[in-house]
Structure 1
Amino acid sequence: MEKITILGSANAVAKSDQQNTHLLFETSSRKILVDCGDHASASLARAGVEIIQVTDLILTHFHADHVGSLPLVIMDMWLEKRTAPLTIYGLEVTIDKAKKLLDLFDWQKWMNMFSVDFVTLEESGLSKLNSDDEFKVTSLPVLHLIPTIGLRFEFTGGRTITYSCDTEPCEALYKLADKADVLLQEAAGPGKGHTSPEQAGEIATRCGVQKLVLIHYEGRRGKQALLSEAQAKFGGKVIVAEDGMVL
C-alpha cells in the first residue's frame, strides 16, 4: 500500500511550524524523496524514515527552497554508511547545477562513497521515471520562472497523485492532473510562475480531481482564507497541507 507524506508544506520562506515543500512517496520497495530544500534528514526522521532508506530523489527545479539541502542529503547518507546506489532525477539544467553544487564539497572523493546515478528527464515532453510493478511516475515540464517539472504518480492499487510543483496554470499541468484522486497544488500565487488558491480550485474543477491539497502556500495568510478561495471554485474536498500530513 502506497503512502505519501508531506514532509514540508511552506512556500520559499519556512515558518516555525513549516519547512519548505518536500514530499515522500513510499511503496513496499521504494522511498522516493521529491525535493530537499530544508534538511530532509530531520523531516524524514519525524516521519519514521531513515535517510539511507531513500531509494530515489526527484529534483523538480533548481531553486534553493527545493534543492538547498542536497549536499546535506548526500553527506548524511554517506555518514550513515549507505552502500546502495541513489538515483537522482531532474531536467538537464537541474542535474547540471546539482552536480556543480555537490562538486563544491568534493563529494566524489569521500572515502567509501556510494554511487549516485543521475537521470536526465525530457525538456519538452513526457518522461517516464524508473517505475516498477507498484507504480508509474511521469513528469512534464510546467510553467515556472525557470525550467521545472510537475509529477504524476499512478499506483497499481488504483490511486493517482499529482504534484504540480511551482507553476502557473498551463496545459502540461492539466494533463498531469487529469482525473487525479489527489492534486497537490502549489498555492503561492497569484503572480508569474505561481498559482493562487482560487486558480488551484479552478484547476481541480477543470481536471475532475477528487481531492485538492493546497501546498507551497504563504502560511501567514491564514488557512481559512486559503480554503475559502479554493472552495469558491471547487466543490470537492479541499485540504490545506501541513508538515507531517499523510495522504
Structure 2
Amino acid sequence: MDIHFLGTGSAYPGSERDNTSICFSNDDYHVLVDVSGNPCRKLKQFQVNLGELDAVVFTHFHIDHIYGLPSLLWGMWLEDRKKPLRILCDYRNEKKLQGWLSTMEADQWPITFSVKIETFDGDRVSELLSGGGMSFSCFKALHSVPTVGLEVRCAGRVLVYSSDSEINARIGEYDHIDMLIHEATSARKVVGNHSSLVEVVEKYDVERIGKIVLVHLSDKEPYEEEVEKLRTSKLIIGEDLMTQHM
C-alpha cells in the first residue's frame, strides 16, 4: 500500500505546506481522505488518474479539509471521467455537503459520472469501504466538531490515522500499529482540540508502533529539535508530496 501525502499542514496558513490530505493506493484502488489545495495536480504527480479515484472520505467539515472538493470535481469533469465517485461523510454533515454541491451548481455541469454520497455515524466504530486489498473503518476522534480517525488494514498490516484530534485513548488500545499517522499542530505546547509532538510520544506506547508520521504541522514550530532529542528512527516529519509504503 502506498500512502501519498498531498498536504501535511495545519489549518494555519503555511509557507511550505498545503493543508493535510492523504491518498491511500493499492492494486489500482485509490481513496482520498480529505481534499485540500490543488488536488488534481497533486494526484497526477502521484500518478493517480482522476478518472480512477474510487472514493473521497471526509474526516470532518472544517474548511481546511474540504475546500479542494470543487476543484477536484471540476477537474474530473474536464477530463471526462465516467466512473461513479463515492463521497463518504458523517451523517451530520450530509446536509452541508448537499448544500455545497448545490451552491457549486454541480448538477448543471455536463458531468458524465455520478456522485454518490454515503453517510456513517462517526461516533461509532464501523467499516466504511474496502477495495484493492484495503479496508477502511472509522472511530471517533476528539475535536471541536464531529470528526473521525481511520483504521486502514492491508495485507495483514494496520495503519491508523488520527485526523484532527486531541490524544485519543482509542488509539492507545491497539496491541500493535504498523504505521500511525498523527496530527501534531504544535511541537510542545498543548493546543485545544489538537495534539503536540511531545504528547504523541509521551501518551502512546511507542514500542507498540512501527512508524509514526506527523502531519497537520504548523510553521515556526521546533519539530526537528524535538525529534533530535528523542533519538528514534520511528518519527517522521511529514512533507508535502511524500510517499510512504506499508
TM-score, normalised relative to structure 2: 0.90
Pair 1:204–1:150, CA change in 2 (3 A): same
Q: Which has the higher strand share?
A: 2
Which structure 2 segments of 5+ residues have no match? none
Counterparts of 1:12 and 1:64 in 2: how far apart (Å)?
8
Identify the residue that residue 97 of structure 2 maps to in structure 1: 98
Identify the residue that residue 240 of structure 1 maps to in structure 2: 237
User: SS of 1:51's equivalent?
Assistant: coil
Identify the residue that residue 211 of structure 1 maps to in structure 2: 211
Identify the residue that residue 171 of structure 2 maps to in structure 1: 173
Identify the residue that residue 227 of structure 1 maps to in structure 2: 227
- Report how far residue 173 of structure 1 moved: 3.2
Which structure 1 segments of 5+ residues have no match? none
Written as runs of structure 1 = structure 2, the 5 A alignment for 1:1-247 is 2-132=1-131, 134-156=133-155, 158-175=156-173, 178-189=175-186, 190-205=190-205, 208-228=208-228, 231=230, 237-247=234-244
- Report how far residue 172 of structure 1 moved: 2.9
The residue type equivalent to 1:227 in the other structure is V
- Report how far residue 133 of structure 1 moved: 6.2
TM-score, normalised relative to structure 1: 0.90
- Say whether the 8 Å CA contact 1:178–1:207 is kept in structure 2: no
- Say whether the 8 Å CA contact 2:14–2:218 is kept in structure 1: no
- Say whether the 8 Å CA contact 2:29–2:131 is kept in structure 1: no
Pair 1:74–1:226, CA change in 2 (3 A): farther
Counterparts of 1:68 and 1:74 in 2: how far apart (Å)?
11
Aligned length: 241
Counterparts of 2:49 and 2:95 in 1: how far apart (Å)?
27
What's the CA shift string for 1:58-116, capped at 9, x where partnerless?
11100111001111111111111111100111111233212211110111122244111
Counterparts of 1:6 and 1:77 in 2: how far apart (Å)?
20
User: SS of 2:220's equivalent?
Assistant: helix
Identity %: 28
